[in-house]
A and B are shown apart, each in its own frame.
Chain A
Amino acid sequence: QKEVEQDPGPLSVPEGAIVSLNCTYSNSAFQYFMWYRQYSRKGPELLMYTYSSGNKEDGRFTAQVDKSSKYISLFIRDSQPSDSATYLCAMVDSGGSNYKLTFGKGTLLTVNP
């Protein structure tokens, strides 16, 4: 079982839709969770950074963490064509390797005008 599982998609939605992206993980030591957006031929861009279980909102983006289920989500409201990208979840444990990001493989999202 991989440490982080992420559905690769592709996911195609119409403009204005609510998008839900998800990752599951197996390592209960993971304590910090991030979502990155990666446009084609670009580097990952940090979108959200959360620590505790629950929701964190930033504009059209909401990150949700459920540590008991080892499940994290990213919701995008009122999706725009400019949101078309690959979304990567990443996580870090709280131990001695708290800098070592473990990534999912990414979900490719296309928002159609």
Chain B
Amino acid sequence: NAGVMQNPRHLVRRRGQEARLRCSPMKGHSHVYWYRQLPEEGLKFMVYLQKENIIDESGMPKERFSAEFPKEGPSILRIQQVVRGDSAAYFCASSQDSYQPQHFGDGTRLSIL
């Protein structure tokens, strides 16, 4: 499968725990984007990364959320001390460069107990 791979597909956490969401971009893509889809809301931009660099994190909550895209391995979206309001579908997209269309993975559905 040459598409954007996200795992896990479903993640259940209790309040206060940490959530780690992983994204492997399409082959040949070095630009990664994370979006969040809250119930009854549209997809909202969170962060844009290139290898080892955060380009734009203007859509990320200032606290508890962080993202990385290391030289080797997948991009990681990390949510510390999760709260009920973090329950959402988190989608990763990738592109060849910032001018090319973004292709999405199937998302990680995060549920907070």
Interface residues of A (CB under 8 A from B): 4, 6, 34, 36, 41-46, 49, 88, 90, 97-106
Pick the contact of A101: B4, B35, B40, B56 (CB < 8 A). Answer: B35
Question: Are A46 and B101 in contact, CB atoms less than 8 angstroms apart?
Answer: yes
In the assembled complex, the Cα of A6 lies from the Cα of B42 at a distance in Å of 10
Residues of chain A contacted by B93 (CB below 8 angstroms):
101
Chain B binding surface SS class: strand
In the assembled complex, the Cα of A112 lies from the Cα of B46 at a distance in Å of 36
For A98, give the chain B residue with the smallest CB separation.
B98
In the assembled complex, the Cα of A61 lies from the Cα of B95 at a distance in Å of 23
Interface membership of B54, Cβ < 8 A: no
For B95, give the chain A residue with the smallest CB separation.
A99
A102 to chain B minimum Cβ distance, whole angstroms, is 8
